[in-house]
């Protein structure tokens, strides 16, 4: 049986916010582990657990909006979103790399912090791509 390539917008109304919450909670857990390992400096507000939760939640909600728009206009929205989301995730990894050079809002950070940030980006990306494309898909 072939799965459909349509977005169920009624499901998206609860799957979208749920995805943002799950990704934010997951990233806070990852952030706390990374902090305990000494990979995340404690003096950067944007990298505090609250900062990680807020930024993850907002960025995932933006991804939900992109998913909804793609769902409206693309012939194969699930496949299209997966491609767009993977490319966006890959591009988002540039931000931690820029942080290593100091060309980032958080300033210059060490290699451990760059890796920690990349892990959080990947965690949020995988959760977002999986939940949106499986749970908001029209049955």
Establish if 2 belongs to a structural domain: no
As given in the structure block, the two tokens for residue 93 are 């990894």
Q: Would 43 be classed as within a structural domain?
A: yes
83 lies in which domain range?
A: 9-135
Task: Write the pLDDT tens digit of every residue in 71-119.
Answer: 999 999 999 999 999 999 999 999 888 888 876 666 677 889 999 999 9
Q: What's residue 131's pLDDT?
A: 98
Q: Is the C-alpha dihedral spanning 14, 135, 61, 77 positive or negative? A: negative
Give domain status of residue 1, yes or no.
Answer: no
Over residues 9-18, the mean pLDDT reads 97
For 14-64, write each residue's pLDDT tens digit: 999 999 999 999 999 999 999 999 999 888 888 999 999 999 999 999 999
The pLDDT score that the predictor gives to residue 59 is 97
Q: pLDDT category, 1, cuts 50, 70, 90?
A: very low
pTM of the model: 0.91
Q: Is residue 4 part of a domain?
A: no
Give domain status of residue 23, yes or no. Answer: yes
Percent of the chain as helix, strand, coil, to the nearest 5: 75, 0, 25
Q: Could you write out the DSSP letters of every residue in 62-89?
A: HHHHHHHHHHHH-SSHHHHHHHHHHHHH
Domain count, the chain: 1
Asked if residue 15 is part of any domain, the answer here is yes
């Amino acid at each position: 049986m072939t799965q459909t390539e349509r977005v169920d917008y009624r499901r998206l109304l609860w799957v979208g916010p749920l995805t943002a919450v799950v990704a934010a909670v997951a990233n806070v857990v990852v952030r706390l582990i990374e902090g305990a390992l000494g990979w995340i400096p404690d003096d950067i507000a944007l990298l505090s657990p609250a900062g990680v939760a807020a930024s993850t939640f907002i960025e995932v909600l933006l991804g939900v909006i992109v998913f909804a728009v793609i769902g409206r206009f693309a012939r194969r929205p699930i496949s299209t979103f997966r491609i767009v989301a993977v490319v966006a995730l890959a591009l988002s990894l540039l931000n931690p790399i820029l942080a290593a050079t100091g060309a980032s809002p958080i300033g210059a950070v060490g290699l451990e912090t760059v890796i920690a940030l990349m892990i959080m980006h990947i965690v949020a990306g995988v959760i977002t791509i999986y939940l949106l494309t499986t749970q908001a898909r029209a049955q």
